[in-house]
Amino acid sequence: MPNIFLRPNKDEAVRRFHPWIFSGAIQRMEGQPVDGDTVEVFGPKGDYLATGHFSAGSSIAVRLFSFEKTEAGLDFWIKRLGAAFHYRKSIGLIGKAETTCFRLIHAEGDGLPGLIVDVYGATAVVQCHSVGMHRQRQFITEALLEIGGGVVTAVFDKSKETLPPNYASKVSNGYLAGQANGQEVVENGHVFFVDWELGQKTGFFLDQRDNRQLLGRYVEGKSVLNSFCYSGGFSVYALAAAAKLVHSVDVSQKAIDWTKKNLALNNFDPDVHSCIAEDVQKYLQDCPVYEVIVVDPPAFAKNISKRHNAVQGYKRLNAAAIKR
């Protein structure tokens, strides 16, 4: 592996197991690492610190995935993904009929920067945010099939949208193992159709699970607007909690179609729900008054240079929702 040596006083964060090394912390390199290479990192005095993936041209030059020497072969990935699997199992996310979808790997949170793995039934959806992680996809796939005694039987790579453009232009989304094996999952007892092949992110916003459950505490007997509804997650929870009326709004017709599908899967009365394919900002200008409004928009800013416009956009959006 190429070796990277840090400047004096730039090694403290790594010794505290911080997973990033910024380009300004590098004093010199031995070898000529290219984007995605696995590299070893050493302190100013030459002592080993960590192993990670090199990112050429990025302010975060190395994303660290091990603080012990490793060749990062199949055994490494089985051990690391297996630890994440058993942790999820210990807190009740695996093996329960009422929830069959969960996040298995949450990047830095699981010590694997640049890697997201969401599990939907028997399919693991892998989303790599760095070239280094994507180059390990075969090891990751084999490890996913190995851990958990056959819980995962198919692996789908959904990385094209999240990789650097130059690299992404040469890759395609697709199955790394197995094939489509059913796209209906259960979350807190509610059934959802998840299209991980064509949907946003990995197919479903698993990070909103607790917020969807929380919504049920506030909506009984009330009128609810689910703006930016995507596939209707909040709408399903609101109807299950006996909301008297739910409207789901999204500019995407495909999202509205997914919402209708999920409402049908849960056998809700169509008379208490409407799906509306329209821009949310425009809809809020002349819509009815609701007692509860869910406002969960997509990111308005993809980088810091867009922050000011994004903040103004959020202010306008929230002000319009509060008026209604």
262 burial level (CB within 10 Å; 0-12, 13-18, 19+): buried
Report yes or no on 196 lying in a domain: no
pLDDT band at 250 (very low <50, low <70, confident <90, very high): very high
Report yes or no on 287 lying in a domain: yes
Angle ∠(297,303,309) on CA atoms, nearest 5: 60
pLDDT band at 301 (very low <50, low <70, confident <90, very high): confident
Claim to verify: residue 179 and residue 118 sit in the same structural domain: yes
- pLDDT at res. 293: 98
For 204, what's the count of Cα atoms within 13 Å in the CB-facing half-sphere?
30
Of 185, 215, 235, which residue is a domain's last? 185
Claim to verify: residue 80 and residue 172 sit in the same structural domain: yes
Report yes or no on 190 lying in a domain: no
Mean per-residue pLDDT, 245-268: 97
Report yes or no on 230 lying in a domain: yes
**How many domains does the chain divide into?**
3
Claim to verify: residue 271 and residue 306 sit in the same structural domain: yes
Of 46, 66, 86, which residue is a domain's last? 66
Rg (C-alpha) for the chain, rounded Å, is 22
Q: What percent of the chain has pLDDT over 70?
A: 100
Claim to verify: residue 133 and residue 181 sit in the same structural domain: yes
Claim to verify: residue 284 and residue 307 sit in the same structural domain: yes
Which domain, by its residues, includes 32?
3-66
Of 22, 39, 66, which residue is a domain's last? 66
What is the separation of C-alpha 211 from the centre of its chain, rounded to a whole number of angstroms? 16
- pLDDT at res. 200: 93
Mean per-residue pLDDT over the chain, rounded: 95
Residue 44 sits in a domain whose CATH number is 2.30.130.10
pLDDT band at 208 (very low <50, low <70, confident <90, very high): very high
Q: Rounded to whole angstroms, how far apart are CA atoms 191 and 98?
A: 9
Q: Please name the residues in contact with 67: beta carbons below 8 A apart, sequence gap of 6 or more.
A: 17, 49, 50, 51
- Asked whether 225 and 243 are in contact (CB, 8 A), the reply is no
Q: What percent of the chain has pLDDT over 90?
A: 90
Report yes or no on 167 lying in a domain: yes
Q: Rounded to whole angstroms, how far apart are CA atoms 195 and 212?
A: 19
Element (H, E) at 256: helix 253-265
pTM over 0.75? The answer is: yes
Among 145-149, 305-309, 317-321, which is the least confidently predicted range?
305-309
Claim to verify: residue 61 and residue 91 sit in the same structural domain: no
Claim to verify: residue 90 and residue 50 sit in the same structural domain: no
Report yes or no on 194 lying in a domain: no
Claim to verify: residue 85 and residue 38 sit in the same structural domain: no
- pLDDT at res. 162: 95
What is the three-class DSSP state of 263? helix
Beta bridge partners of 52: 39, 64
Rounded to whole angstroms, what are the CA distances from 285 to 69, 180, 229, 320? 59, 41, 17, 7
Reply yes or no on whether the pLDDT at 238 is more than 80. Answer: yes
- pLDDT at res. 155: 97
Q: Rounded to whole angstroms, how far apart are CA atoms 83 and 116?
A: 15
- pLDDT at res. 84: 97
The one-letter code for the residue type at 49 is L
Report yes or no on 202 lying in a domain: no
Claim to verify: residue 89 and residue 12 sit in the same structural domain: no
Angle ∠(121,226,250) on CA atoms, nearest 5: 85
Residue 239 sits in a domain whose CATH number is 3.40.50.150
pLDDT tens digit string along 44-87? Answer: 999 999 999 999 888 999 999 999 999 999 999 999 999 999 99
Mean per-residue pLDDT, 121-128: 97
DSSP state of 96: B
Element (H, E) at 224: strand 223-227
Q: How many residues does the chain have?
A: 324
Strand ranges in the chain using DSSP code E only, listed in sequence order: 3-6, 20-22, 26-30, 38-42, 48-54, 60-66, 101-106, 115-120, 123-128, 154-157, 174-177, 184-187, 190-193, 223-227, 245-250, 273-277, 292-295
Claim to verify: residue 38 and residue 116 sit in the same structural domain: no
Q: Rounded to whole angstroms, how far apart are CA atoms 235 and 216?
A: 10
Mean per-residue pLDDT, 130-156: 95
- pLDDT at res. 122: 94
Q: Please name the residues in contact with 156: beta carbons below 8 A apart, sequence gap of 6 or more.
A: 123, 124, 125, 126, 173, 174, 175, 176, 196, 197
Claim to verify: residue 235 and residue 283 sit in the same structural domain: yes
Report yes or no on 9 lying in a domain: yes
